[in-house]
Structure 1
Amino acid sequence: MSQSQSAPKKKRAPAPLRPSSSIVLLSPTNQVLLLHRVKTSRSFAAAHVFPGGNLDAFHDGELPAIDTPEVHQDSAAYRLGAIRECFEETGILLARPKGSSPGTTTMSLVNVPEADRETSRRRVHDNKVRFDEFVDSVGGTPDVEGLMPFTRWITPANVGRRFTTQMYLYMIPDGTAGGGEAREMTIPTPDGGVEHTAALFDDAATWLARAASGDDILFPPQVFLLHLVNRFCPGSSSAPPPADAAAAREHYAAQRRGLVAFLGATPTSSAAHPSSAIPWAEKVMSPQSLFVRGSDSRIVLGLDKPGPELRGSTRGGDYERVVLVKFTGEGPRQVEVRSREDVFREHRAEEEADKDGPKL
């Protein structure tokens, strides 16, 4: 067989997935925490991200084999890894006192003195002490029950570094609002420039506006989840809380109740698609390019597929919405969540206009 008649090259297999977890962390006033990653980071360089990272068997326990469907399920290891990474990256320890009941709105998080906290962050990061042993030593229990699954994201097959990331929602209980202990626990600090240069709570609407203006870099998963949170926790500029303290607490509590109900409700959309039967707590998103818009050269990403590893399963994402994005040398820009129906209608109109345009 001549070289020109040789068999076509086999399609390269997708890079293996790395299990990871992240937290959409809400303050007592329902602001969202984002971290500004260093420019030299191998993943999401210079972007603003939710706290989280790769799982570590030393701290988090063993996971199912990476080539099995079970690795894409919420589990104790994903939950412990999310809480550990949050502590390493921000200093916020999502742990309740030993013997306390999980899930109570008046629960307070364990307080760790600042000097001990900073030393322990480094020791946990450097694997000098197991995370669960550290939490036990300060009289706490990781509040894994307080984590609520909030979609899973699987990196597209054509990307070199790939992750299967379990996202969680955690609402810092308003029992931590007020008093010295609360201020200690809810003010995040970066990790000394190891992975992040800043850590800040702000309204979801503010983060989205900063990304839209080009001030901050947000990747599609961050924009998508902030978009959902903003529906229920729009921030003080558009939904100011009452001046009365008790009424303000109820204001934020009502926002939280709406968001929690949303996570478990089905159908998730009006579209007649199988993914609408999957609650947000169980959706799996693996963005795929659908087409490039002629009007602004933005890629349209579909979110209904769960990725090659889960092809043929009953898992799925969100059919009703798509994400528009322009990838540049400095990262994603002009990221926007839109209705799939509206974007496809505009696309068909563009195609018809091209057909009816002047011909030479």
Structure 2
Amino acid sequence: MSVDPAAQPVEPRPAATVLLVRDEPTGGDLQVFLQRRVTGMAFAGGMTVFPGGGVSSGDTPDPARWRGPEPSQFGTRFAQPADLAAALVTAAVRETFEECGVLLAAPAGSEPGPMSGAAGWRDELVSRRATLPELLAEHDLELRADLLVPWARWITPPRNPKRYDTAFLVARVPDGQVADDATTEAVEARWWTPAEALAGYDGGDLKLMPPTLRTLQELDRHDTAAEVLAAAASRDIEPITPEVRREGRVVTITLPGDPDWIYEEATR
């Protein structure tokens, strides 16, 4: 698809992505949950991605049901207004629940864990019969913002016809909860070590977008979920807008400030 270079860039849509991590139950190696999206999807079809998606109109949290750092603290990390930061965190919790069944919420004074009825709540969200704040209020739950730690912010290049301004956050899967593949948006969803996913990409078995590739390379520097969370808390987050160069059928993508990092793909 050709893009008119003189056209005004599309305004990026706010979005949130969650790096859901755990220590492998038997070996202890760091793992991250990844989904291979359905090939025919309009965005990132066939790509292997972290759970996530765009902010929706219903992602406005109830401050009385928010537990953890104030939205302004997330806003400071992401260089975003507090109200948008609150919506990004809410979207992160909602998308994680919709796409892999992990709910980062709990009754007041309790830790997240298995909850009877959660499968039905998930169906209500997916079918848009309820918003996440409505479900939290109905079942007397708190959104656990304290379980999410900012990791990065990626902005789609200006020439793309579909653009996102995406907050990447990291969370450890709560004890007793199981991330699953019960989503119509993916044909495969499971836990990988970062090294396994990177080997799959190098071997051509996995297709990764630049933000996913870069993030997996960063995660591969850590051995445990605790190390990832500790690293996330101390990261300096600068918005990353990849730089794109096209030569014939080859698209080359680089990152500002890191000339040694190169991503190439052939287009039709």
Which TM-score bucket, shorter chain as reference? 0.7 to 0.9
1:75 counterpart SS class: helix
Q: 1:109 aligns with which of 109, 112, 120?
A: 112
Matches within 5 A, 1:38-117: 38-60=38-60, 70=80, 75-100=85-110, 108-113=111-116, 116-117=117-118
Query: Structure 1: which 5+ residue stretches go unaligned?
Result: 1-8, 62-68, 101-107, 177-181, 234-251, 266-278, 305-317, 330-360
Give the residue type in structure 2 aligned to 1:59.
D
Matches within 5 A, 1:194-213: 195-213=185-203
Aligned to 1:302: 254
2:21 is aligned with 1:26: yes
- C-alpha separation between the residues in 1 aligned to 2:130 and 2:41? 25
> Shift in Å at residue 319 of structure 1?
3.1
Aligned to 2:142: 141
The answer to whether the 8 A contact 1:58-1:127 is kept is no
> Shift in Å at residue 55 of structure 1?
0.6
Aligned to 1:127: 128
- C-alpha separation between the residues in 2 aligned to 1:171 and 1:10? 42
Instruction: Tell me the TM-score normalized by structure 1.
Output: 0.61
2:130 counterpart SS class: coil
1:43 counterpart SS class: coil
- C-alpha separation between the residues in 2 aligned to 1:129 and 1:35? 24
- Greater fraction of residues in strand: 2
Distance 1:211 1:10, change over 3 A: closer
Distance 1:320 1:186, change over 3 A: farther
Matches within 5 A, 1:161-200: 161-173=162-174, 176=175, 182=176, 185-191=177-183, 193=184, 195-200=185-190
Instruction: Tell me the TM-score normalized by structure 2.
Output: 0.80
Distance 1:72 1:49, change over 3 A: farther
> Shift in Å at residue 291 of structure 1?
7.7
2:18 is aligned with 1:16: no
- C-alpha separation between the residues in 2 aligned to 1:50 and 1:224? 12
What is the count of residue pairs matched by the alignment? 245
- C-alpha separation between the residues in 1 aligned to 2:12 and 2:203? 33
Higher relative contact order (CA 8 A, sep 6+): 2
> Shift in Å at residue 139 of structure 1?
4.5
> Shift in Å at residue 322 of structure 1?
1.8
Give the residue type in structure 2 aligned to 1:19.
P
- C-alpha separation between the residues in 2 aligned to 1:288 and 1:229? 22
Q: Which runs of 4+ in 1 moved over 4 A?
A: 71-74, 297-300
> Shift in Å at residue 72 of structure 1?
10
Q: 1:284 aligns with which of 223, 228, 239?
A: 239
Q: 2:226 aligns with which of 246, 256, 277?
A: 256
- Greater fraction of residues in helix: 1
- C-alpha separation between the residues in 1 aligned to 2:202 and 2:212? 13
Pairwise CA RMSD: 2.9
The answer to whether the 8 A contact 2:58-2:133 is kept is no
Aligned to 1:346: none
> Shift in Å at residue 148 of structure 1?
0.9
How high is the sequence identity, in percent, across the aligned residues? 24
Give the residue type in structure 2 aligned to 1:148.
V
Distance 1:218 1:71, change over 3 A: farther
Give the residue type in structure 2 aligned to 1:152.
R
2:222 is aligned with 1:232: yes
Distance 1:138 1:110, change over 3 A: farther
- C-alpha separation between the residues in 2 aligned to 1:168 and 1:134? 22
C-alpha deviations, 1:154-203, integer Å up to 9, x for none? 10011100010111011225xx1xxxxx1xx1232331x2x222221111
